[in-house]
Amino acid sequence: MIPAEPAAEHASIAATFAEKVRGVAPGGWDAPTPVPDWTARDVVRHLVEWFPHFLAGGSDIRLPAGPSVDDDPVAAWDHHAAAVQAVLDDPGSADITFAHPHLPPMPLPQATAQFYTNDVFMHTWDLARATGQDDRLDTDRCRSMFEGMEPMDEMLRQSGQYGARVAVADDAGPQDQLIAFIGRDPEWRP
């Protein structure tokens, strides 16, 4: 079970993603992923590159630059995850209002959990599936994310952040439902 408090939640999910990053076999960084036109390296690049800009767009926080994903995806992820964790572990972060121009104002830890930590969770499947690792995700979290996202289907599709929903059997498990909802084929293989 993944903890609900944003700092502990991020620590758990980022650690699971780090296991997958470290588990990529030599030469595996160019493996195709369930995300069209992305390699395994691009999954790490996406997470390392988009969140600092998002964070800076709604707060005064600037994450320190780290190693290049092209040179060392493991070091890049480790540096980035530690920087995000340091922000969440700082007691003062709870008092920061994240005020992004496209979102309602909210506490910084909540914004990080809702937009970034959830993204890390979902991309864990992409990286694991692309590189032949154990791709099982936390069932309860899959269920709650799917149930929370499904009522916003149209808005999420219009955001351009998700592909077309993939059809799955009515009795598909929570992980397959979530993966299909975000536009991935749960049966995808490299």
Q: What was the pLDDT predicted at 101? A: 83
Check the CA dihedral 6-11-12-15 and report its sign.
Answer: positive
By the 10 Å C-beta count (0-12 exposed, 13-18 middle, 19+ buried), 125 is classed as buried
Between the two ends of the chain, the Cα-to-Cα distance in Å is 29
- What does residue 170 show for φ and ψ, rounded to 5 degrees? -60, -30
What is the rounded average pLDDT of the residues 93-112?
A: 90
What is the rounded average pLDDT of the residues 135-139?
A: 97
**pLDDT value at 146 more than 70:** yes
Residue 103's SS3 state is coil
Confidence of residue 3 (pLDDT cuts 50, 70, 90): low
The ranges assigned to domains in the chain are 6-135, 137-190
How does pLDDT run across 105-135, given as a tens digit for each residue? Answer: 999 999 999 999 999 999 999 999 999 999 9
Confidence of residue 103 (pLDDT cuts 50, 70, 90): confident
Confidence of residue 168 (pLDDT cuts 50, 70, 90): very high
What mean pLDDT is reported for the chain? 93
Q: How many Å apart are CA 67 and CA 56, to the nearest integer?
A: 19
Label residues 43-56 b or e (16+ Cβ within 10 Å = b): bbbbbbeebbebbe
Q: What was the pLDDT predicted at 155? A: 74
Q: Tell me the CA distances in angstroms from 160 to 20, 123, 142, one per residue in order.
A: 26, 16, 21
Q: What was the pLDDT predicted at 1? A: 62
What is the rounded average pLDDT of the residues 14-42?
A: 96
CA nearest to 75, candidates 112, 129, 21: 21
User: Quick one: fold of 6-135?
Assistant: Four Helix Bundle (Hemerythrin (Met), subunit A) (1.20.120)
Confidence of residue 2 (pLDDT cuts 50, 70, 90): low
How does pLDDT run across 42-91, given as a tens digit for each residue? Answer: 999 999 999 999 999 999 999 999 999 999 999 999 999 999 999 999 99
